[in-house]
Amino acid sequence: MTLFFLFLEFFQTGLFAVGGGLATLPFLYKMAEDHPDWLDASQIMDMLAVSESTPGAIGVNMSTYVGYETAGVLGAVIGTFGLVLPSVVIVLAVAKVLNAVKENKNVQNVFFCIRPASMALIASAGLTVMKNAFLATENGFSVKWLSVLFGVILFVLMRKTKKHPVLYIAIAAVAGCVIGF
């Protein structure tokens, strides 16, 4: 039964998380509330860090991780399949008809309205990640100043030096091991 619900949760996530991997985060936080035996909110930050630093799509990596933690290798396969199935079906359907209807005003309006929804999902995910990275909530709210400083430094470096993102991931990994945020 767990495998069925795992598939269902990730199918729903794959169907409605429009905008890419980060848009899956609000769904994962909801999943953590609904299924605390699968994952908790603190694990999502760790999963995001691992998913961002490993090859592949963030949402797929996260669904594989949750599936594996919940039900082993079969759970990883089921979670991943549930997440990607809606996209595969939708892409095949859209590819079949898009050329015929791409000039249709209603189709253009749908895409016009999906963009802000995607942006809102990604912005919500970004704000949640920032809150979890920069604020401690154990005894009320307090700012993790070292994390904020490190985040600002990395942000400035990324904007100024334009180096490959892997460099910044490596710097963050080393800093995390040395400093132990």
Q: Which pLDDT tens digit goes with each residue over 46-105?
A: 888 777 777 778 888 889 989 999 999 999 999 999 999 998 998 888 888 877 787 888
What stretch of H or E contains 135? strand 135-136
Q: Which pLDDT tens digit goes with each residue over 94-113?
A: 888 877 787 888 888 888 88
- Is 90 exceeded by the pLDDT of residue 128? no
Least confident of 15-19, 63-67, 148-152, 164-168: 15-19
Return the residue matching tokens 């994952």.
Answer: 39
Q: Which pLDDT tens digit goes with each residue over 5-46?
A: 999 999 999 988 877 777 888 888 888 889 989 888 778 888
CA separation for the pair 163, 62 (Å, rounded): 26
What's this model's pTM, rounded to 2 decimal places? 0.61
Higher pLDDT, 179 or 154: 154
CA separation for the pair 73, 180 (Å, rounded): 31
From the list 34, 40, 36, the residue with the least C-alpha distance to 13 is: 34
CA separation for the pair 60, 52 (Å, rounded): 11
**H helix intervals, 35-144:** 41-53, 58-101, 105-134
The token pair at 59 is 């949402």
- Is 70 exceeded by the pLDDT of residue 159? yes
pLDDT for the residue 4:
95
